[in-house]
């Protein structure tokens, strides 16, 4: 048995020319020329839910269009494994939680199992995040192996970092989202910094007519003639949906017609999400202007795009954040974002220019209220926001960064 391969539809680099410019596309082809036919595989924990899967859905087909032979494979696991890896995710981000010998044994056992199913010869292997980080140790594979960390490991709980550090050290290269996220003792000579990006042509981010977007949002019971505040995120303590509800209540006291949409995605590798969804619902109570929705309600990429398009203000009140692609998506749609002053959000939300950075529910509520009450300034910020993303956070830049790294490793 082999690891599950994710089937993907083709994408064409040429289609991105009208958005990013023909010079950018020509530069990608120039970077790819020495890498023609190189065999590449990306390995992660899930084919849906979360930013990593979304990025791979675009990055892999575009790498193929540039002339590389690329696959995407997903590791296998049961609830016992994914409960442990969720704890690892939180522990590496600094949550003070225990890491028992049994938990370590479960992680190792599943990594060994998946390593036996990992077959084929590759020039470049990119392993994403902590879940499959042991594959290299247990596979001793050929080619250039890269570990791509999408989370903030700057202040990890020591028990977790001490366990993972030897596995990370095995890799020829590491990729982190920001320099501030790099864990203690990571070799800077083998380090690359690559921020995530969005696909401007995906169903979620492609231009959508306002009328269609309103129709989709109204279908979930919202009144599109009234102000709408939205946060799109997993139901996760780091995303602070309870704090978003508190901020909304501050707005609601001044703007009684305001509505809040909390739009999430329940991922296969996140059992904790269901518990936090229930906690969020309890905090919302009987306020029928708070709409809590997720993919099991039929909310997919298109619907998320519609909510971002229709919203007056988008919030991302994270207390810790890897990067925050949902921020990028909202900015790309010309929406100012009120975001937590953490992680990759300040790279995107330029305070006072593309939105506002906040440190509390009170600040979040005040800035959201300000944007609702100053629609012209909000529209100006939204225009700045879209251009900021076009220049810095679209998938073509991400592809170019990977090609540069492959060229460096292969050269």
pLDDT tens string 125-155: 999 999 999 999 999 778 999 999 998 899 9
> In whole angstroms, how far apart are CA 388 and each of 60, 287, 291, 391?
24, 36, 30, 5
Q: Which has more pLDDT, 357 or 203?
A: 357
Are 244 and 287 within one domain? yes
Q: Is residue 275 part of a domain?
A: yes
Q: Which long-range contacts (CB under 8 A, 24 or more apart) does 285-292 make?
A: 289/252, 289/258, 289/259, 289/260, 290/245, 290/248, 290/259, 290/260, 290/262, 291/220, 291/221, 291/222, 291/259, 291/260, 291/261, 291/262, 292/262, 292/264
What is the reported pLDDT for 362? 98
Q: Phi and psi of 358, rounded to 5°?
A: -135, 160
pLDDT over 70 for what percent of the chain?
Answer: 98
**Per-residue tokens: 226:** 């009234």
Are 169 and 57 within one domain? yes
Q: In what order do the strands lie in the sheet with 191-193?
A: 4-5, 69-74, 39-44, 124-128, 144-148, 173-176, 191-193
**Per-residue tokens: 131:** 């879940």
CA distance 66 to 69: 9
What is the reported pLDDT for 286? 94
Q: Is residue 172 part of a domain?
A: yes
**Is the per-residue pLDDT at 205 higher than 90?**
yes
CA distance 317 to 231: 8
Q: Is residue 204 part of a domain?
A: no
For residue 6, give every residue at least 6 positions away whose Cβ sits within 8 Å of its Cβ, in sequence order, or none.
Answer: 47, 56, 60, 72, 73, 74
Are 36 and 153 within one domain? yes
Are 377 and 400 within one domain? no
For residue 246, the surrounding DSSP H or E stretch is helix 241-254
CA distance 146 to 104: 22
Helices 301-310 and 210-218, interaxial angle, to 10°?
Answer: 110
Are 147 and 97 within one domain? yes
Count of positions (residues) in the chain: 411
Domain count along the chain: 2
Are 289 and 353 within one domain? yes
Give the pLDDT confidence of 8-55 residue by residue, as tens digits: 999 999 999 999 999 999 999 999 999 999 999 999 999 887 778 989
Q: Is residue 331 part of a domain?
A: yes
Are 134 and 188 within one domain? yes
Q: Is residue 203 part of a domain?
A: no
Range of the domain at 14: 4-197+394-410
Are 402 and 387 within one domain? no
Are 264 and 178 within one domain? no
Q: Which of 56-60, 177-181, 274-278 has the highest mean pLDDT?
A: 56-60
Are 246 and 379 within one domain? yes
Q: Is residue 384 part of a domain?
A: yes
**Is the per-residue pLDDT at 268 higher than 70?**
no
Are 151 and 185 within one domain? yes
Are 316 and 336 within one domain? yes
Check which CATH number belongs to the domain holding 322 and give it. 3.40.50.2000
């Amino acid at each position: 048995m082999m690891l599950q391969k994710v089937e993907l539809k083709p994408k064409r680099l040429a289609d991105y020319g009208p958005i990013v410019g023909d010079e950018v596309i020509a530069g990608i082809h120039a970077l790819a020329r020495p890498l023609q036919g190189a065999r590449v595989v990306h390995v992660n924990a899930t084919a849906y839910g979360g930013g990593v899967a979304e990025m791979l859905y675009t990055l892999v087909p575009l790498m193929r269009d540039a002339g590389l032979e690329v696959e995407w494979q997903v590791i296998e696991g049961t609830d016992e494994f994914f409960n442990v890896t969720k704890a690892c995710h939180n522990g590496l981000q600094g949550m003070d939680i225990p890491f028992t010998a049994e938990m370590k044994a479960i992680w190792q056992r599943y990594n060994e199992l998946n390593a036996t199913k990992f077959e084929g010869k590759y020039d470049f292997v990119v392993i994403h995040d902590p879940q499959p980080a042991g594959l290299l140790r247990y596979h001793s594979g050929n080619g250039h192996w890269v570990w791509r960390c999408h989370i903030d490991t700057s202040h990890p709980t020591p028990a977790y970092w001490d366990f993972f550090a030897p596995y990370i050290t095995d890799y020829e290269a590491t990729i982190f989202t920001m320099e501030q996220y790099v864990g203690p003792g990571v070799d800077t000579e083998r380090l690359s910094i690559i921020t995530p990006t969005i696909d401007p042509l995906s169903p979620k981010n492609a231009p959508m007519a306002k009328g269609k977007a309103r129709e989709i949002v109204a279908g979930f019971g919202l009144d599109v003639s009234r102000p709408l505040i939205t946060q799109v995120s997993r139901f996760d303590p780091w995303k602070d949906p309870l704090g978003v509800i508190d901020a909304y209540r501050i707005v609601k006291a001044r703007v009684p017609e305001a509505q809040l949409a909390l739009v999430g995605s329940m991922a296969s590798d996140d059992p904790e999400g269901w518990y936090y969804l229930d906690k969020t619902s309890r905090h919302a109570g009987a306020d029928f202007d708070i709409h809590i929705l997720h993919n099991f309600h039929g909310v997919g990429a298109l619907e998320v795009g519609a909510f971002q398009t229709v919203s007056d203000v988008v919030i991302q009140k994270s207390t810790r954040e890897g990067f925050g692609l949902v921020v990028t998506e909202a900015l790309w749609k010309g929406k100012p974002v009120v975001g937590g002053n953490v992680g990759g959000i300040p790279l995107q939300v330029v305070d006072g220019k593309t939105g506002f950075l906040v440190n509390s529910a009170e600040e979040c509520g005040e800035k959201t209220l300000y944007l609702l009450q100053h629609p012209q300034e909000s529209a100006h910020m939204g225009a700045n926001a879209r251009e900021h993303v076009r220049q810095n956070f679209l998938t073509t830049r991400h592809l170019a960064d990977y090609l540069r790294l492959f060229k460096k490793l292969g050269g």
